[in-house]
Amino acid sequence: MSPKLYGKAVGIVLLLIGVVGFIQNPLMGMDLSKRHSVVHLATGALLAALGFGSASSSLTKNVVLLFGLVYTALGVAGFFMSPMVPGLRIYYPDTMVNVIHCVVGLAGLGAALMGKAA
Q: What is the domain count for the chain? A: 1
Of all residues in the chain, what percent are helix, strand and coil, respectively (each to 5)? Answer: 70, 0, 25
Residue 117 clears pLDDT 60, i.e. is over it: no
How confident is the prediction for the chain on average, in pLDDT?
84
- Per-residue pLDDT of 46-60, as tens digits, reads 999 999 998 888 999
Do residues 108 and 71 touch, judged by C-beta distance below 8 A? yes
- Asked whether residue 100 carries a pLDDT value surpassing 80, the answer given is yes
* Residue 13 confidence (pLDDT): 94
pTM of the model: 0.82
Residues 69 and 37: beta-carbon distance below 8 Å: no
Residue span of the structural domain in which 99 resides: 3-114
